[in-house]
Structure 1
């Protein structure tokens, strides 16, 4: 009977969340406050609540936007037919605070963060004897990682993540929202990274070893730490952590580029992905977007990839509206969404070494492992700058359309303003804060370049 009560309470949380009509999740009392405080009382209910946090990868189409928005922004993805009616805002680099889908994109992250906050707060109160072994700390660690990941994605989409001295970071939410905490100002970029870093340290210390790619492990926490170190210019740390993941995670690269995408959740080297089941996959927009040719690789991308051996796996045959992107729909069974994979660690290591003054041969080594696995020509660089040019192209080809790598690399490599004529100002690197949020939170400031809208 108690299990049924717990399940009912948690289902009520999600029902109320879905039906809420207020403007912004940050500025409302969360649905969790509307149910009994004992909804999370033991390991079973804690696991159920944690699964609820994971479920946010399936909501609000955030999972598809995390790959598509930056790909459209970079000009490497083009919409042959509007699938969801928001593509043009990003393809034209012309998003505005009133763009109709922007508020959903923003609030989707904060709903997920609030769910993670609830797990952390409520599980933290429970005694150890409610759990088997180290499972309490593991559940908390998974929630801490997810909270870090959601904050990081908010930062790189809505904050000046590339300026460590900027005051335009994000709103940090580390407790469940209440009437007393509905309004919060932005943190600085430095403080945003510090908070995310603290979350990752907890996850690295307490998260379980790798089991399945749709569950958090200490190794994906290290992978995110390596990515952030690269973004923030800590190249020594980026190279070191990437090497740690490569050598000690127990994961290996798939034998070929093509086989990686065909093996779905069984693919060697898949560190972390959104989970799927048959029902969710049948409702997945990716198969229309990338299978029917609604969205296709652009001419700009084709110019980058040239005759690379991976081309057939990335740019497929003709579909109803354009060409397919086979890599994103190629799994023989359930189809992952690629958030972190081992190949990225090799490219992080190569870039970090190249930027940090390592010898040319040392920096080329991890880069050439990825090229060799792809059957592509190994590095021809004769100096650091030439190698960095090769690495940028490799990021676009190897990791393109997955999790924004091509767009964030273009900014990092100083190439974003040259990608296409629609990008004329650096403020376009990030998105505006949605008007709906600004209207209810007078402590929040708009991003530069969007203030006069």
Structure 2
């Protein structure tokens, strides 16, 4: 009986040890940041893979504006936002869906940034590497901004307000899942860091299906207006920068982008209007637009 007991215990220990070791292994068939991005083609694919998270629903378009209008008290479209009763434990499936949508987009951007940053000169040119990272960082800043607008106190002039965003600049894992919110001031700083990198390193506009240097400038101008339009204590420095960025875009001659004189024509052209710097086609019925 003792021999049987020792044999059983030894088998159990070996089994548990093997199981523990197996938990640390990544299946050969699973794509990850180490084996999915190995050259310029797969690097571009990783960045392209961020866009579907934006276009597959209305998290970045009609729904969020309905909720922001409800928060402002203009309409009772979203009762939780209109009554200001939405909390982490008291929300709706649509709110959860939007939260997940923003952070899935951010995670996809972090995947691309992390993987592309690890490529060497034999795998990708330095110019293309920087441009792709800039595109991913633009989309990360873009997504953090929307999360901030819906779930943070973006309007507060007090930089120390603790209700900023959950900022993520690395792939989500069990070890970093629990993080603290940034303050409002820190939230703007982090978003601006991504936008500034995009402005510096993105190529010029060629299509409204992807973000560009011009779009990064326009989006930063929008963020500056949100930031300083509610903060009279800082003077007009931020507003001056916003105006400068807008003028840079308007005064830049790039093929495919121009302001249209007929507003009705802008709406008629819809997705294909030459005024659109970034307007991805949405999946489904196309009922919402960026």
Quickly name the TM-score band, shorter chain normalised: 0.7 to 0.9
The reply on whether 1:39 has 2:27 as its aligned counterpart is no
101, 104, 107: which one aligns with 1:108: 101
Q: Which residue of 1 aligns with 2:56?
A: 59
SS in 2 for 1:39: coil
Q: Which residue of 1 aligns with 2:246?
A: 242
Determine the C-alpha separation between the residues in 2 that align with 1:268 and 1:197: 26
Q: Which residue of 2 aligns with 1:156?
A: 149
The reply on whether 1:130 has 2:123 as its aligned counterpart is yes
The reply on whether 1:193 has 2:183 as its aligned counterpart is no
207, 211, 214: which one aligns with 1:216: 211
Query: Cα 1:38–1:205, aligned 2, differ >3 Å: closer, same or farther?
Result: same
Determine the C-alpha separation between the residues in 1 that align with 2:274 and 2:127: 27
Q: Which residue of 2 aligns with 1:139?
A: 132
Determine the C-alpha separation between the residues in 1 that align with 2:70 and 2:260: 28
Query: Cα 1:257–1:77, aligned 2, differ >3 Å: closer, same or farther?
Result: farther
Is contact 2:70-2:79 (8 Å) kept? no
The reply on whether 1:266 has 2:258 as its aligned counterpart is no
Shift of 1:162: 1.5
Shift of 1:128: 3.1
Q: Which residue of 2 aligns with 1:284?
A: 285
175, 181, 188: which one aligns with 2:176: 181
RMSD value, Cα = 2.2
Determine the C-alpha separation between the residues in 1 that align with 2:82 and 2:261: 38
Determine the C-alpha separation between the residues in 2 that align with 1:116 and 1:208: 18
Aligned residues: 243
Query: Cα 1:167–1:71, aligned 2, differ >3 Å: closer, same or farther?
Result: closer
Deviations 1:281-317 (A, max 9, x none): xx2262xxxxxxxxxxxxxxxxxxxxxxxxxxxxxxx
The reply on whether 1:49 has 2:41 as its aligned counterpart is no
Determine the C-alpha separation between the residues in 2 that align with 1:92 and 1:184: 28
Q: Give the alignment's TM-score, normalised by structure 2.
A: 0.76
Q: Which residue of 1 aligns with 2:197?
A: 202
Q: Kindly name which structure, 1 or 2, has the bigger radius of gyration based on alpha carbons.
A: 2
Gaps of 5+ in 2: 1-29, 229-237
Determine the C-alpha separation between the residues in 2 that align with 1:161 and 1:135: 34
Determine the C-alpha separation between the residues in 2 that align with 1:114 and 1:205: 23
Is contact 2:67-2:78 (8 Å) kept? no
257, 261, 281: which one aligns with 1:255: 261
Is contact 2:166-2:181 (8 Å) kept? yes
Query: Cα 1:169–1:92, aligned 2, differ >3 Å: closer, same or farther?
Result: closer
Q: Which runs of 4+ in 1 moved over 4 A?
A: 72-78
Determine the C-alpha separation between the residues in 1 that align with 2:271 and 2:128: 24
SS in 2 for 1:131: coil
Determine the C-alpha separation between the residues in 1 that align with 2:262 and 2:140: 33
Query: Cα 1:49–1:256, aligned 2, differ >3 Å: closer, same or farther?
Result: same
Shift of 1:184: 0.2
Determine the C-alpha separation between the residues in 2 that align with 1:60 and 1:269: 23
Determine the C-alpha separation between the residues in 2 that align with 1:135 and 1:177: 26
SS in 2 for 1:170: coil
